[in-house]
């Protein structure tokens, strides 16, 4: 059966912004450092969502060091999953077709990385204004 919905985004945060966002959360392993057949907690920005009715729900997350495919089998759409949102997942890592994968992990939506990036830009602009520097880039 063909997938019901495939959505993806090419909107990316700058690597340093994504790195700063990831440091806000303790206990997470960067995707590049995930080891197959080990239990881990990972964090990333949802870059792709795919729903195959009565089969699975899939998300691809990116933390700036790599991408992780996350699949929930037998799932209806999971509430709260949206492109560009932060997602924290915990489960066992595997490799499928050369790509890192977690099947049926526990998960939670976390603080919006884009809002955090905007907050940092506003802080930087305010700091520049306080020093008499132009806020233009």
pLDDT tens digit string along 119-134? 555 555 666 566 555 4
Q: What is the pTM of this model?
A: 0.75
Burial of 97 (0-12, 13-18, 19+ CB in 10 A): exposed
Contacts of 23 (CB under 8 A, 6+ apart): none
**What digits encode the pLDDT tens for the residues 55-87?**
899 999 999 899 999 999 986 678 889 998 999
Token pair of 10, please?
């090419």
Residue 90 pLDDT grade (very low, low, confident, very high; cuts 50, 70, 90)? very high
Q: Checking DSSP bridges between strand 99-103 and strand 67-73, what pairing results, if any? A: parallel
Token pair of 135, please?
């806020």
pLDDT for res 115: 61
pLDDT over 90 percentage in the chain: 47
């Amino acid at each position: 059966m063909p997938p019901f919905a495939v959505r993806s985004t090419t909107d990316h945060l700058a690597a340093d912004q994504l790195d700063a966002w990831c440091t806000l959360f303790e206990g997470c392993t960067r995707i590049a450092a995930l080891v197959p057949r080990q239990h881990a907690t990972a964090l990333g920005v949802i870059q792709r969502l795919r729903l195959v009715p009565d089969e699975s729900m899939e998300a691809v997350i990116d933390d700036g060091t790599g991408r992780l495919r996350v699949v929930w089998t037998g799932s209806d759409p999971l509430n709260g999953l949206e492109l560009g949102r932060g997602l924290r997942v915990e489960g066992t890592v595997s490799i499928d077709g050369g790509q890192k994968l977690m099947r049926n992990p526990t998960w939670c939506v976390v603080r919006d990385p884009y809002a955090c990036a905007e907050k940092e830009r506003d802080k930087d602009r305010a700091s520049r204004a306080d020093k008499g520097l132009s806020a233009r880039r």
